[in-house]
A and B are shown apart, each in its own frame.
Chain A
Amino acid sequence: MTSKAAQTKWVTTLDGSRYSLGNLLGQGGQGKVFTVRGHPYAVKLLHHRSDQARQALRERLLMVGRLPLEDLAVARPLKPLRPPHLGYVMELFTGMVPLHTLIRPPKGGESLIRWYFDGGGLRRRLRLLAKVADIFSRLHGRGLVYTDPSLQNLFVSADPTAHEVRLIDTDNVRVSADGGPALYTPGYGAPEVLSGARLPNSLSDAHAFAVIAFETLALVHPLKGGDRIENGAPELEEQALRGERPWIDDPNDDWNRSSLGIPRPFVLSRHLADAFEQAFGAGLKNPLARPGVSRWAEHLHRAADNTIICSGCGGSYYASHNTCPWCAEPRPTFVRAFCTLWDPERLASTDSGMTQAVDPGFVLDATGSMGKAHQIIDSMALGERDPVIATDRFTLGTNRGEPQLHLHFAGESIQIEVLKPGTWILRTKDGRGDHSLATGETIPLRDTRRDWRLHANTPDYLHRVIQFRLIPGASR
């Protein structure tokens, strides 16, 4: 009956454009979303019964329309509607589905893990989550709060080989200090927002994001996924969501242990496991102890970078495993590319007699006293014929999402192609074979066992040095 009534409905925007509503796309607590006939738009109609609430919402829609969101992957409220309707016209994404589709397998489907792979497996889930965290991080960086992250308002490419992400329901975006209603989606609201102690802020966004990330990776809810709650009375679920119970993987309290979902070592890197413990351990009650979304972005990108593809089942897993956790096939040979920091200041202070002729990398290794100076600060796994594009995040430690290098390990050699102009110097550990790489140049490192170093700048500057290490396949 709802959709029949809607088929004859027209709405008018503030600037006077008239649109006829098509199909009902979805409905939730806040309102309904319809397609627009003949346009790539959707109309979100909000229901709020009190005049005061309607007026406040109208003002907020106008405010969101003025926020600086152009360069973010969010669906902006394009045009607010004229009364008596309350809502707005927004962009309609084609070829995208809610993140929800990666968490709830269809009923009576094939094997859970096959379905997990069909959605792009571990690596794609990590990358999609990292990109969602990137968007939140940029929102927060502008003093904005998304307010209500959920599985239904984060959209991802329907194509399992693509990695686009978008946020919808942007009408909920607000300026941090603004307040506004304490909106949240069941299961994702932070305990302090549920209790009414705090209004939504960047830390409640971070809580919701952490829940979403955990569910997307492990297919179990971190708070209410424990066996006692799964099989127990609904009151327990409410307590868990309010933060009154330990989380399912709490290392010190097994009250909420869960036999559900994918074993965490399969899907969580060490950094991710630590971050989840921070988010749902200390951070459950203390928002300030939660990892922020930019921290999540960093951990998730790095985790995705360190996955390889199984030659047995085609699934992706962390290269730190000796056998594929999904099917027990031994890990194939791969190359670990890792970054260390080249710090000319530290070199000078420890070895003032050093000259340009000596490879300071060698000195670094030899003195061994430089502590952090040659700690590995980032790494990625290059599976055989599983090429990767290293962005500035890897080569410079920034996060512009700029492709810098194309790395390809194939046939006993590593192909390096420079995508971004810059100072790229390739040398060996013993300081021989200095070679500047030009943009577009592809160079093969034939002998993968040699200690190649790719410098992202000249020795006078602080920069990252990329090294490669061949890790032979595990034996059966």
Chain B
Amino acid sequence: MGWASYREDIISRYVGVVNLKSTTIQKPIASGTPAGKPVLPPVPLRKDPVMVKLKDFPISTPKPLPVILLVDVSGSMTADGKIDALNTAVAEMIASFAQDVTDQAQIQVAVITFGSEAKLHKPLTPATDFEWQPMTAEGRTAMGAAFDLAAGLIEDQHQLPARAYRPAIVLVSDGVPTDAWKPALDRLLASERAKKAERFALSIGAGADRAMLKAFLANPAARVFEADESRQIKNFFRWVELSVTLRSRSAMPNQSIMIDPADIENYDDF
């Protein structure tokens, strides 16, 4: 390649690899000391490194960028392999997050599922350490309880420290909530940090409550992403992934970057 001719490393010191061309002394000068003693080759100066006590210093750590998934695992999700498609898409998204390690942001993921009851399927964990456990679907749609769980997590300074970037909240549902979701959503949206969160909503199939999902987004300009088949579920999570990773790499990771979800299909071309 073109670099072969580039001059190699001329000003570095040659620790250990000195090749003195000549040790012949031309003429002793002025000092009158005897000449001609052979030059000693350089010796490694390092003592056994284990023996030496070195000081240590702390360095900065990336700020957390939390992604909180609220996933409907009601019984209806078992139909048409929806829950399987969801499991695959979420696992792929988290695997991509794990590849996205930047100096400034560390993406963390929590998964809250809601069926008969809402539960923390996976606590907030750095994507790089995440071990995905597939979700199983059964029961009703306790979405209100899931909102309360999410609000509790987001407001908890121990789990989401002040230094964390604005969280992203992702809501996925295929049906109508069976509990009192509205007061719970109001509580979530009244929370200082959840209010500022970046929100994504996925409506799966014809049975989903789009008005409710729209209320969750609480932004007239934001769109509910609709999916009728597993490819679209995958595209939705690809959209979330791109939005979050672009943010983690952006100059201002606290600002949201909205990608047009319609662009997702062509995003992989060049």
Which A residues are closer than 8 A to B by beta carbons?
Answer: 1-2, 5, 9, 28-29, 31-32, 40, 45-47, 49, 73, 84-87, 91, 93, 100, 103-105, 111-114, 123-124, 127, 151, 161-164, 166, 184-187, 189, 194, 219-221, 225, 230-235, 237-238, 241, 259-263, 301, 309-315, 325-327, 329, 385-389, 391, 393, 401-403, 406, 408, 410-411, 415, 417, 426, 428, 432-433, 435, 438, 440-447, 450
Give CA–CA (A47, B263) in the complex, Å. Answer: 12
Given the known A-B contacts A85-B270, A314-B46, are A73 and B6 also in contact in the complex, defined by CB atoms under 8 Å? yes
The answer to whether A408 touches B20, judged by C-beta atoms less than 8 angstroms apart, is: yes
Is there contact, CB below 8 Å, between A435 and B29?
yes
Please, what's the 1-or-0 string for B136-174, where 1 marks a CB less than 8 Å from any CB in chain A?
A: 000000000000000000000000011111100000000
Tell me which of A85, A113, A386, A417 contacts B54 (CB under 8 A).
Answer: A113
- Is B13 touching A260 in the complex (CB atoms < 8 A)? no
On chain A, the residues within 8 Å of B268 by CB distance are: 1-2, 5
Q: Complex Cα distance A219/B55, Å?
A: 14
Contact, CB under 8 Å: A417 / B21: yes
Report how many residues on chain B are interfacial, defined by Cβ distance under 8 Å.
69
B164 CB contacts on chain A under 8 angstroms:
234
B28 — nearest CB in chain A belongs to which residue?
A446
Which chain A positions have C-beta within 8 A of B1?
Answer: 40, 91
- A353 to chain B: closest CB distance in Å? 26
Nearest-CB residue, chain A, relative to B11: A391
The 8 closest A-B pairs by CB, nearest first: A433-B30, A314-B46, A446-B33, A385-B42, A234-B254, A186-B251, A45-B270, A313-B52
Q: Contact string, B95-132, partner A, CB cutoff 8 A, digits 1/0?
A: 00000000110000000000000000000000000000
Residues of B within 8 A of A164 (CB): 6, 8-9
Q: Total contacts A to B, CB within 8 angstroms? A: 220
Is A442 a contact of B22 with CB atoms below 8 Å? yes
With a cutoff of 8 Å between Cβ atoms, the chain B residues found around residue A301 in the complex are 11
Q: Are A401 and B7 in contact, with the CB atoms below 8 A? A: yes
Q: Which one of B33, B52, B59, B163 contacts A220 once the chains associate, using CB atoms below 8 Å?
A: B59
Pairwise interchain contact A309-B270, C-beta atoms closer than 8 A: no
Task: Decide: A112 and B57 in contact? CB cutoff 8 A.
Answer: yes
Known A260-B57, A311-B45, A432-B30; judge A241-B11 contact (CB<8 A): no
Q: From residue B156, how far is it (CB to closest CB) to chain A in Å?
A: 16
B168 nearest CB across to chain A (Å): 14
Q: Which residues of A contact B15 (CB under 8 A)?
A: 161, 309, 386
Most B-side CB within 10 Å, residue of A100, A235, A314: A314
Cβ B42 vs Cβ A410 within 8 A: yes
- Are A312 and B43 within 8 A (Cβ)? no
- Closest Cβ of chain A to B17, distance in Å, is 8
Within 8 A of A (CB), among B25-80: 25-31, 33, 35, 37, 39-43, 45-47, 49, 52-61, 63
Cβ contact within 8 Å between B55 and A314: no
| A443-B25 contact, Cβ under 8 Å, with A49-B263, A385-B43, A386-B42 | yes
Pair A112/B254 contact, Cβ less than 8 Å:
no
User: Does the CB pair B35–A442 fall under 8 Å?
Assistant: no
- What is the distance, in angstroms, from B66's C-beta to the closest C-beta of chain A? 12
Q: Is chain B's binding surface mostly helix, strand, loop or mixed?
A: loop
- Whole-angstrom CA separation of A164 from B35 in the bound complex: 38
Q: Which B residues contact A (CB, under 8 angstroms)?
A: 1-3, 6-15, 18, 20-31, 33, 35, 37, 39-43, 45-47, 49, 52-61, 63, 92, 103-104, 161-166, 246, 249-254, 263, 267-268, 270
Q: A417-B20, A443-B25 are in contact. Are A263 and B45 (CB under 8 A)?
A: no
- CA of A473 to CA of B42, assembled, Å: 18
Is B270 within 8 A of A221, CB to CB? no
Contact (Cβ within 8 A) B11 A112? no
Contact B253 A91 (CB under 8 A): no
Select from chain A the residue with minimum beta-carbon distance to B53.
A327
CA distance A5 to B46 in the complex (A): 50
Cβ of A444: which chain B residues have Cβ within 8 Å of it? 25, 35, 37, 39
**Contact: A440 with B249, CB < 8 Å?**
no
Known contacts A87-B270, A442-B20, A443-B29: A313-B49 contact under CB 8 Å? yes
Query: What 17 additional pairs, Cβ within 8 angstroms, besides A162-B12, A164-B6, A403-B11?
Result: A45-B270, A49-B263, A84-B270, A93-B3, A114-B49, A186-B253, A230-B60, A234-B166, A234-B253, A261-B60, A313-B49, A329-B52, A408-B20, A408-B39, A410-B42, A444-B35, A446-B28
Task: Pick the most buried of B37, B246, B250: most chain A CB atoms within 10 A of its CB.
Answer: B37
